[in-house]
Chains A and B, each alone.
Chain A
């Protein structure tokens, strides 16, 4: 089943940072960019599974802490010439409250 789940408020995530959501299916990284957009990706780098939530967030991108791949937050794609994609989750913000739509992977 898939559903929208409230996970917290925008301010709960540091600006240009991330926090994780623990789920049975693994960790989901929830990012907040400098312009207060929120994005959610599987917390596994398409390269070798590095925890993306621990990377440096710049623009709408994050640099993986293990080997510096750069991942686009909006779609999970690795920035060329690296190739790969981290699963992304739809995000909704209402009155400052973040909801994620889980188990509805947009990207295979």
Chain B
């Protein structure tokens, strides 16, 4: 028999738990959901945009009644649970019915605090919590003029803004001397006040409400608010937004231990292990949360526990706040005040209404406040959650992501000023408008969702940051449930790093081993994880691992670049960019025979395009006779080493760049890497090989070489960082090998060295390579060891029929059909 799960509370946390549970284990429970509100499950945070007339009720429904039906869930809306009998494992409804459970989930949320002043119960005095409240406010706005909002926090200001947009005159009464004191410091609080006053909102700060007055006859509604200092404000509606209190009465009456909230452990179980609690009603490690991001994380853990998988733990959340008031861009997170042992980096431009503050401790972001320009907020928040060391970028940090090298996109970063037609994703031609449309229509709230529905950010990924920002803006609030460590792909919950560590620590030797050990959710993975696992395994066990060809992208499987029409391009190595008549002749003859042109590539090489798959082995045989080998132009591998002519030829040259370039390419070719790896060697600082936009670059100087790392020139241009200067060619090679190996061992699959270096920080790379010669040597030796197994020309192997001959010939020719 199925177990019975009873859920009390049909809100965001409860239903997210049920959704997650259905994904993990759709069949183990009969689920009954009680909700005191007479609705399906809706997106509570969108009540603010509704009040402001920017959204409709239909648009914010998350799960309609049909969804419950389709998933076999009994929804009992409009029914309140008033008691729990833990001995009999039953809950009791308001009209006296009892319902048994095997597991009980409490997701009762919070209730708004009501000031116990005289008149608090008059018609026209509301809180701001549910659809009913919003209906009352909208009704009042249609008929009346004056509104008073008590409370100048997040909710109060959103209510005031909404009422103002509905045409009312709004006064905000706030007990403190600063708005949103829990999210803003003095300066930003004052700036926000001025912005809102400019919009027409009125404020009374340091003001305490004494009573609320109503009309003479008993049924008459509210007429005004009286403050302690005697001030009287006319009011046709009064909104109390002074805070919320977790709804714990049900639990505490049943003897479940409660403090401020229902106390739960990391498994989301309460004092009674059959009873779980999630959401605003729960108190975890002394914290109660009032935002959705932590609740979603809790929901995930709780579902995992309910599904009897029993391995997920909730470890608390860092939270951030955004104000959903159109035209005001405000973001706050963490410890924004600072204090002992912290320092603040501040940018302030009162004229433009911009204030940015980061609180740092040990070079890590502890907290942030942004007003007027919060486009990069999601990014800062990520840096904060990941505890990234920002010492390398401190001088430019406040100027946003674009200042740190996201060239070409910086100007587009202003989401707010972006019009709907602006193309956000250049690869798939997706405009801002389409993304916003998809988010609202399909109720998306994750990057994955947007990718699936619009393809934006699904290709080269350069626009990922922008798409995330659009998501955040469209959803309002911090709606991201992105865990700090993103899973490798949808087949697993584990991150790249966790998977790599498991491979190393547990001696996992094959893709099926990894999938079995880490409980992959799919039988044999997907096109995303399989190539990544293949790479991680070959990097971990260079001598032992047997490459899994079927887990490689087609290019790497057939050692050529697939083209638009399904033909392939063939790019042999021209070591350091140097070729000779014999090689040129072989390429020319080959192109002649196939009747195709020859293309000079951007990487100093020759490409033969339009080669049919079945012709590939023949082409390789022909090129191989002239000594040409695969250029790996198709692979996540070491590519060309771009070299200039250097000191033997060039009248400026100080070093033999050509010689070193060729030598390096000969040492490094054949290595598989997380993403393509390009090198450049220039003979002097004129830098004709563009070494400063390569993954690894060397620039000749009188005394030796400057070494540069982490450059790229793809969708996201990044100039290299200077690693150090060295004296000899041998040192260049050793540093290059060590750098490459560090990246090979720690870079995530499909992460360019430029992105990796931004993730781990230049300081870290210097620590490993420059400050620690022993570590450098070890890395370089590990690299050379792995090269012993890697430097086999795949073209030769295929041409000689050693591998995968069946790849290149059809199964059968069928002439007639």
Q: Which residues from A are CB-within-8-Å of B815?
A: 23-24
Write the nearest CB–CB distance from A81 to chain B, whole angstroms.
5
Chain B CB within 8 A of A56 CB: yes
Annotate A5-33 by CB proximity to B: 1 below 8 A, 0 otherwise. 10110001111110111111101001000
Q: Which of B523, B555, B812 has the most chain A CB atoms closer than 10 A to its own CB?
A: B812
Annotate B443-455 by CB proximity to A: 1 below 8 A, 0 otherwise. 0000000001101
Chain A CB within 8 A of B814 CB: yes
Q: Which of B522, B566, B815 has the most chain A CB atoms closer than 10 A to its own CB?
A: B566
Cross-interface CB contact of B522 among A51, A59, A81, A102, cutoff 8 Å: A59
Q: How many pairs of residues, A versus B, come closer than 8 Å at their CB atoms? A: 99
State whether B527 touches A70 (Cβ < 8 A).
yes
State whether A8 touches B524 (Cβ < 8 A).
no
Chain A CB within 8 A of B1 CB: no
Chain B CB within 8 A of A107 CB: no
Interface pick from B74-82, B95-103, B545-553, B794-802:
B545-553
State whether B531 touches A22 (Cβ < 8 A).
no
Chain A CB within 8 A of B383 CB: no
State whether B550 touches A22 (Cβ < 8 A).
no
Annotate A59-80 by CB proximity to B: 1 below 8 A, 0 otherwise. 1010101111010000000001
Q: Which residues from A are CB-within-8-Å of B807?
A: 14
State whether A19 touches B458 (Cβ < 8 A).
no
Annotate A38-60 by CB proximity to B: 1 below 8 A, 0 otherwise. 00000000000011001111110
Chain A CB within 8 A of B595 CB: no
State whether B551 touches A56 (Cβ < 8 A).
yes
Write the nearest CB–CB distance from A94 to chain B, whole angstroms.
16
Known: A59-B522, A66-B562. A22 touches B810 (CB 8 A): yes
Complexed CA–CA distance, A12 and B527 (Å) = 22
Complexed CA–CA distance, A57 and B548 (Å) = 12
Complexed CA–CA distance, A8 and B810 (Å) = 11
Complexed CA–CA distance, A51 and B562 (Å) = 10
For chain B, the count of residues having a C-beta within 8 Å of the partner chain is: 36
Known: A24-B817, A102-B817. A58 touches B810 (CB 8 A): no
Complexed CA–CA distance, A1 and B588 (Å) = 45
Chain A CB within 8 A of B485 CB: no
Q: Which residues from A are CB-within-8-Å of B813?
A: 21-22
State whether B562 touches A65 (Cβ < 8 A).
yes
State whether A23 touches B814 (Cβ < 8 A).
yes
Chain A CB within 8 A of B600 CB: no
Within 8 A of A (CB), among B557-592: 557-558, 562, 564, 566
For chain A, the count of residues having a C-beta within 8 Å of the partner chain is: 39
Cross-interface CB contact of A103 among B458, B526, B530, B817, cutoff 8 Å: B817
Chain B CB within 8 A of A34 CB: yes
Chain A CB within 8 A of B9 CB: no
Q: Which residues from A are CB-within-8-Å of B526?
A: 56, 58-59, 61, 63, 70
Annotate B710-746 by CB proximity to A: 1 below 8 A, 0 otherwise. 0000000000000000000000000000000000000
Q: Which residues from B are CB-within-8-Å of A17?
A: 549-550
Known: A23-B814, A81-B453. A58 touches B525 (CB 8 A): yes
Known: A8-B812, A56-B527, A81-B453. A68 touches B550 (CB 8 A): no
State whether B522 touches A58 (Cβ < 8 A).
yes
Q: Which residues from B are CB-within-8-Å of A7?
A: 811-812, 814
Write the nearest CB–CB distance from B512 to chain A, whole angstroms.
9
Complexed CA–CA distance, A20 and B523 (Å) = 25
State whether B549 touches A14 (Cβ < 8 A).
yes
Interchain Cβ contacts under 8 Å between A and B, 28 examples: A7-B811, A7-B814, A13-B811, A14-B807, A19-B810, A19-B811, A21-B810, A21-B811, A21-B812, A22-B813, A24-B815, A24-B816, A34-B523, A34-B524, A50-B566, A51-B566, A54-B554, A55-B527, A56-B551, A56-B552, A56-B554, A58-B526, A58-B530, A59-B522, A59-B524, A65-B562, A81-B452, A102-B814
Which A residues are closer than 8 A to B by beta carbons?
5, 7-8, 12-17, 19-25, 27, 30, 34-35, 50-51, 54-59, 61, 63, 65-68, 70, 80-81, 102-103
Closest A-B pairs by Cβ, 4 of them: A63-B527, A19-B811, A56-B527, A54-B554
Which B residues are closer than 8 A to A by beta carbons?
452-453, 455, 458-459, 522-527, 530-531, 549-555, 557-558, 562, 564, 566, 804, 806-807, 810-817
